[in-house]
Amino acid sequence: MTARVVIASGGTGGHMFPALALADEIVRRGHRVALVVDERGRRWVTGDHEVHVVAAARPGLGVLGRGLGVAQGLVQCLGLLRRMRPSVAACFGGYASFPPAMAARLLGRPVVVHEQNAVLGKANRALAGFSRRLALSFARTDHAPALSERTVVTGNPLRAGFRAPVADAPQDGRLRIFVMGGSQGARVFSTVLPEALARLPAELRSRLRLVQQARAEDLDHVRQRYAELGIEAEIASFFDDVPRRLSGCDLVIVRSGASTVAEVTACGRPALYVPYAHAADDHQYVNALRVAEAGGGLVLRELDASPEKLADAINELANNPERLSVMAAAALSFSRPDATVALADLVLSVVEPDP
């Protein structure tokens, strides 16, 4: 039987990347997919996927505004799903996933919810109660029901390419650092990291080979500061070859959104995580903590990330290559490279024919 799968997602990259990975896998298996997203989510979609944009609540709106957004979206989704007659709805959280999931439930269609973070998001908490399956990325997920036949761990689906082989360590004593900060770069890395590296011994600075993502408005400042410090650095606002950059570095300095954690661990890279301080439910800190507990990284809270503390952490790791190797192995063991396949299997296992 050819299934008709609705995939609903909030509009951030953290929601959309795994949703698109699942869509590609289900289409590869010969089934049909329709993406239901808000205006923010539409910008992430490329290729030939069928896309429907619906109204949704948005961050920053008051209670009345959010309620109106949900109501409008629900009316749209009820009409849309009646016409589509989906076999199953897979929902990835965020405000925009709520109306499609509710519409599927009201129309008697099975719902599968996927949580990317180590904290069950607010929308997913509401949806989990009536979902047929709840898929988790982390075995320990705050606010999630206990693991059971209904609540299972699949991991977080990845964009294509994040299974690159880990490069061998350089033989010239260089330390290759890759700095990522989300879709636009993190301001803390552009301001604090250069001053942290300035505090390193000159001998260590001379061995650094740095690749860093920075916001467009920070590029000139960051380049100039590294030049003053004599650090060999490549700075850009965007890299289109992240898997290669990850697999070719010795240490990653990153935020800890769910997709970032999945990508870094899939490439088996030791990481210094600096979680975004204002993430909902502090989920980035919990994501990073789970990796650190497994031995695959260190965590430095953003509000504690002074140049001195960041320099101490980098210096300690730079002078302990054995520890970096152990962390790399732990990160790879923590990863779930089969997450996309596992989630697709789970979604298709609850497919129901048209009533």
Cβ burial, residue 16 (10 Å; 0-12/13-18/19+) = buried
What sections of the chain are H helices per DSSP? 13-28, 39-42, 63-84, 98-106, 122-128, 187-198, 202-207, 219-229, 242-247, 258-266, 283-293, 307-318, 321-334, 339-349
- Predicted local distance difference test score (pLDDT) of residue 173: 78
Amino acid at 347: V
**What pLDDT score was predicted for residue 167?**
52
Looking at the fold, whether 188 and 327 belong to one and the same domain comes out as: yes
C-alpha distances out from residue 343 to 80, 103, 112, 172, 331, Å: 24, 22, 10, 42, 21
pLDDT reported for residue 55 = 83
Pair 32, 49 in one domain: yes
What six digits make up the tokens of 188?
Answer: 């803390």
Kindly indicate the confidence band of residue 162, based on its pLDDT and cuts at 50, 70 and 90: confident
pLDDT of residue 71: 84
Burial 18-54 (b: 16+ CB within 10 A, else e): bbbbbbbbbeeeebebbbbbbebbeebbeeeeeebbb
Same domain, 133 and 188: no
The parent domain of residue 259 ranges over: 175-334
Question: Do 19 and 131 lie in a common domain?
Answer: yes
- What's the pLDDT at 168? 54
Question: Mind listing the pLDDT tens digit for each residue in 45-93?
Answer: 988 899 999 987 666 556 565 667 678 889 999 999 999 999 999 999 9
Q: Is 165 inside any structural domain?
A: no
Q: What is the mean pLDDT of the chain?
A: 91
Q: Report pLDDT digits (tens) over 279-297.
A: 999 999 999 999 999 999 9
Greater model confidence, 133 or 172: 133
Give the chain's radius of gyration (CA, Å).
Answer: 21
pLDDT of res. 187: 82
In this structure, what are the phi and psi dihedrals at residue 142, rounded to the nearest 5 degrees? -60, 140
Same domain, residue pair 62 and 193? no
253 has a pLDDT exceeding 80: yes
pTM: 0.92
The sheet carrying 297-299 orders its strands as 232-236, 208-213, 175-179, 251-254, 271-273, 297-299
Confidence of residue 341 (pLDDT cuts 50, 70, 90): very high
pLDDT score of 47: 81
**Mean pLDDT, residues 14-28 taken together:** 95
pLDDT score of 236: 94
CATH of the domain at 312: 3.40.50.2000
Q: Which of 231, 163, 131, 147 is nearest to 21 (CA)?
A: 163
Q: Is residue 169 part of a domain?
A: no
Asked if residue 107 has pLDDT above 90, the reply is: yes
Query: Considering only CA atoms, which of 87, 157, 98 is closest in space to residue 123?
Result: 98
**Domain check: are 218 and 151 in the same one?**
no
Q: Could you tell me if 77 and 198 lie in one domain?
A: no
Residue 31 CA: distances (Å) to CA of 61, 193, 210: 37, 47, 43
Q: What is the number of domains present in the chain?
A: 2
Nearest to 114 by CA among 147, 94, 98, 92: 92
Q: In terms of domains, do 74 and 189 share one?
A: no
Q: Would the pLDDT of 232 be above 80?
A: yes
Per residue in 169-226, pLDDT tens? 555 678 999 999 865 557 889 999 999 999 999 999 999 999 999 998 999 999 999 9
